[in-house]
Structure 1
Amino acid sequence: ITVVDKSSVHSLSIWYCHCPGALSRDMQLFQAGLFPASFTRPKTAFTFAVLDDFLLDNLECGTSAMNYYSKIRRLTSSIFPMVVLDRYRELMRAARQWRQCKLYKWHGFAHKDDQPKDGDLALFCLACPQPGINLDLSAGTVAQPDDTPSWLMTRYLVMDGDFKAEHMHPVNPSDEVSLMDGLGFMVSNERYKKHLSIAQDHVQRLDCNNHRAVNQAN
């Protein structure tokens, strides 16, 4: 089996347990601290440490999966990195699944059978006014001291446009598998398509030259 670690890429011979009642191969790898690239006949596995390190590099340094794995190949063989086995695609898939596992654990779904509902994997904003949580609406009005500014109890909704999103259409949409459809900050695909079926697009053009980006987007 090929094991990818922070230090290098290793080729190891392993022997799975075949005792009565033994766990499946992928679960045995999990118990050993290895994340398999596949779950039926795993031939490649990533250590938990390398997945944590990649997610941290990707978050803080903006390191892509290709550049990160190129570094691992260089650590394995500084003279001939091209001869090291290419597990770039496996890293991308395993990193997505590892990130999802971390989110499940951070939001309390690691050791219980409850399935997360829409938005359960999104961070809760303590500062946002939430009726019934940090706003008392029992009297019909917001209870606040006289010296509290009005803007403190106001909810602001900000919407921004991504003018590059239209260039990110997948080549094969059927191959795009969502791991958290509607569980995070974005709405589920089914609800989004339902909204698009009834929504009307009103093209608004501005005369101001300082807002040419809006006209170009329309």
Structure 2
Amino acid sequence: MLKTAATFQLLCNFQLLSFESKASAYEFYHSLVRLTDNTDCYNVFLQMVHEWQHLKIVKHFGHGHEVSGIDGTSQGECVVICPACPQPGKDLHDGWALATKANCWLYATFLAIDVNFHLKRHNVLSNETDPSMSTGWSYFVEETDYKSYLAQHLGEAQEVHDPDLLSCMLLTPFHRKAHAPVTMLK
């Protein structure tokens, strides 16, 4: 069994290059291979980068030195709150909920995901072979809770209360596509 390691400096350099020059892990790793002995440790490097990113997130949110440890992190604790979106109880004045229809857009929060995503965790064979390190800690809920919720509401139609929203949904490219995949719901 091959054992390998990486310094924090190497992982910091990779993180900086990936942010600034958009270098992928594959490109960075193969640059290292050219500079060294051509040993194939790409998958090991990816595991180290994954662990490094996980530790950086935990450190950023102050969970590294808690008495309960990293495992004491609860659902949604590692979410970066959008500074541009209004947050009730933080930066909205009293009575904001009573705004007129003409001004209610001022207090809207837009929650969205860029649809140019790949769902890398979707094709994982099992959580035993490739476990997630921070399930439910940030923007996506824990999978078993999510599937349980879906099972409870199976067959229910989604309610759309705003007719303007419905007309917007009908104009989206996903609605026009005959075979728009919704593969994450199994």
TM-based fold match above 0.5: yes
Matched letter for residue 75 of structure 1? L
Matched residue, 1:94: 48
Matched letter for residue 88 of structure 1? Y
Matched residue, 2:77: 120
- Alignment pair present for 1:44 and 2:1: no
CA distance in 2, matches of 1:131, 1:207: 31
C-alpha RMSD of the superposition: 3.9
Which one has a bigger Cα radius of gyration?
A: 1
Matched letter for residue 99 of structure 1? Q
CA distance in 1, matches of 2:42, 2:107: 48
- Secondary structure at the residue paired with 2:141? coil
Q: Decide whether aligned partners of structure 1 residues 61 and 171 sit closer, same or farther in structure 2, where only a CA change above 3 A counts.
A: farther
Matched letter for residue 217 of structure 1? P
- Alignment pair present for 1:54 and 2:14: yes
CA distance in 1, matches of 2:153, 2:8: 44
Q: Decide whether aligned partners of structure 1 residues 207 and 152 sit closer, same or farther in structure 2, where only a CA change above 3 A counts.
A: closer
- Secondary structure at the residue paired with 1:102? helix
In the TM superposition, what whole-angstrom CA distance separates every residue of 1:119-175 from its partner, at most 9, and x where no partner exists? 1112122332322222345xxx32899xxx542222234466568659952345531
CA distance in 2, matches of 1:214, 1:130: 38
The percentage of aligned residue pairs carrying the same residue is: 28
Say whether the 8 Å CA contact 2:17–2:23 is kept in structure 1: yes
What is the 5 A alignment of 1:4-15? none
Matched residue, 1:110: 64
What is the 5 A alignment of 1:1-218? 43-76=3-36, 83-114=37-68, 115-137=72-94, 141-142=95-96, 149-158=103-112, 165=119, 169-172=123-126, 174-200=128-154, 211-213=175-177, 215-217=179-181
* Structure with the bigger percentage of helix: 2
Say whether the 8 Å CA contact 1:119–1:183 is kept in structure 2: yes
Say whether the 8 Å CA contact 1:181–1:188 is kept in structure 2: yes
- Secondary structure at the residue paired with 1:85? coil
Any runs of at least 4 consecutive aligned residues in structure 1 with deviations exceeding 6 A, and if so which? 206-210
Consecutive unaligned residues of structure 2, counting only runs of 5 or more, are 158-169
> Aligned-pair distance for 1:44?
1.7
> Aligned-pair distance for 1:61?
3.4
CA distance in 1, matches of 2:114, 2:123: 19
